[in-house]
Amino acid sequence: MSRQTLAPAANSNTPTPRTRPRVNFVWIVGLLALAGVIGVGLYTSQVKQDVTSAKAPSFTLPTTDGRNVSLADYRGKNVLLYFSEGAGCQACLVQMAQIEAMQSQFKAANIVVLPIVMNSKSDILADMRANGVKTPFLLDNGTVSTEYKTIGKGMHPGLPGHSFVAIDSKGMQRWYGEYPSMWLEPKDLLSKAKSVLGV
């Protein structure tokens, strides 16, 4: 009688040699995609700064308290423009509230902070009241935000990012800072502004 070698019974739980490489490939592709997402997130959340020396674009904008404000009104003072998404962005309003809490220190450095948003008056006023912000916001139709190159630097393509522009007492732009994390410690902001403005 011839001796036969019986093949082991097929086990449906045992991956075939063809299945295992396919599973490994899927895992590798998934990990590479995840690494790409993390890399993009880290890159886009990085602070971007630019020390400049150029004439700041002039502007005149209406404010939430019913006035019209021009950059030229502040000649002789240092100006810090604060561009943000404004209404609906809690971090943006908290940032302004914290800057406002240090108003005396900014004033001592001869620095005026002008917050600029692309919101309707009623929308930003509601958020100002909710966060106890008193400083009037300047209402931009997009022209000023575009001239200062802040559009699309935040979470929304058509709105300004969380950005600051320092302008000296002679109307020269000295610094631009972009903060995708939507926050800059006010004491660090004051220190940076004083440094670039030489005050």
List 112's β-bridge partners, or say none: 79
- From 92, 118, 139, 159, the catalytic residue: 92
180, 44 in Cβ contact below 8 A?
A: yes
- Burial-class residue 21 by CB neighbours within 10 Å (0-12, 13-18, 19+): exposed
Rounded to whole angstroms, how far apart are CA atoms 154 and 157?
A: 7
- 92 included as an active-site residue: yes
| CA nearest neighbour of 136 among 63, 185, 45, 198 | 63
Q: Which residues are catalytic?
A: 92
